[in-house]
Structure 1
Amino acid sequence: MDFKDAAALIGRRPMQPPPAAPPNKLDNMLGSLQSDLNRLGVQTVAKGVCGACKKPIVGQVVTAMGKTWHPEHFVCTHCQEEIGSRNFFERDGVPYCESDYHQLFSPRCHYCNGPILDKVVTALDKTWHPEHFFCAQCGDFFGPEGFHEKEGKAFCRRDYFDMFAPKCGGCSRAILENYISALNSLWHPECFVCRECYTPFVNGSFFDHEGLPFCEAHYHERRGSLCSGCQRPITGRCITAMNRKFHPEHFVCAFCLKALNKGTFKEEKDKPYCHTCFSKLFS
């Protein structure tokens, strides 16, 4: 006699109406069916013992984590929902549905605080979704050059040096490698030149005027100490005339070129003349 015949006999057998079973007592119903089949000589073999309720399993069975379970008893430890055919995770010997496992145990992204389900970036002693690890200033993703850290934040190379590297006293751009320290500032070597003619300094010698470097000629020009006659710096005695300065030997008559003794002269069209030449030319 197979299972179907036995079930048919049971269906035809006169039976007293069973007492109303409490709802959702599937275990009791299966137990009663097993007893009825055993009385009819149909031997039923349990498929295992449920890992949750410890009772024999006669009907459907779930095999997981090295145990057998009634399907309705194989549930997520956290939300208690039946796992069924869904993916699950095991932790400390108990099952969790995929959603609860990630919410409870997966690493968190430092940017969005969401669980990281797949690839993870570990940096600055934190974890990140790959799409959430970017420059804190411009928002661009990091290229092969990587990133630079400042105050717990990650910056691309360009923004890091623009924001935090020392700036050149000449071009105001970031100094990344070699530099010259002078006039209480740092300079790119190619930027430390005369601020007027942009000529490099010979042997590093320069003149300071208002905190900027100048060659000797432009230093004296800025200070008003160039001879108007020879355009060379005046370092000793000088004559001041016509709102200009001269070496004494270069303050001469514009016509005869004789030195203007004791600074006596006549001026015409912004040029100095001795009295004799002035009288001949302009009287």
Structure 2
Amino acid sequence: MSERFDCRNCKASLYGQQYIQVENAPHCINCYDQLHANTCQECTEIIGHNDKELTFKDRYYHEHCFRCFHCDRSLSNASFTSHEDVLLCNDCYCNEFSSKCVSCNKIVMPGSKILEFDGSSWHEDCFVCHSCEKPIGGESFVPNENQYYCVPCYEGRFTPRCSHCNKALTKGGVTYQGGVWHRECFLCAGCSAPLAGQPFTSQGETPYCVKCFSNLYAKKCAGCNSAITGFGDGKYISFKDREWHQPCFKCSRCSVSLVGSGFFPYRDQILCTDCNDDD
């Protein structure tokens, strides 16, 4: 008498029948499908032993159920993406969720490099300088009226240039008589001392420090013989061809201040009323 060869589950004889071995135990086809076959994620039916099975993220599908949620196209041999547990072919995913390049109006495909700024998106090769048309990539750029420039082009077209060295003025400088200077380029025309943050004056359109202007152009006070520059309190008194600092405008004899008072010229002197009466 021959040894029995039965299904582990239903005990039906497997002689002359198809069976599947599970953990070294034979199962008839029916029991295998009921006990061990996976359930299709899409149709919830059992994926039988003769069905082609596809797996994605611990989920199982019949081959004919593995399809795009939107267009129903088969994904068994196509690129696809999972979005919120829904399978989508690349075309549907891109149409639904991918950004469009504002330059070429084409979709920026998943996995490709995308550049984003101020709510807009570009392909890497489409984000180019408006002037030289070279791709900007990850380099610095400057937006200007909905156009984008690489830094060299922006500086060349829009940044003011120093009146001294003619190089771009990219940060704070000095403005004088309609021109701009780097702070380190705004110099006295006489001694080349920096004038930024210092008192200065000019002769015509040329700037000078106080010392150089005084030595070269300022009139001398008739009282102290020092230059009258207009700095300090800036007040001076002029009479005929002579000028005085206001504190120096005094009687030549008694030294009383003549500011706001009557005075009398006497030869090279100026006299108060009392000293003039003495004569």
TM-score (normalised: structure 1) = 0.49
- Which structure's CA Rg is the greater one? 1
TM-score (normalised: structure 2) = 0.49
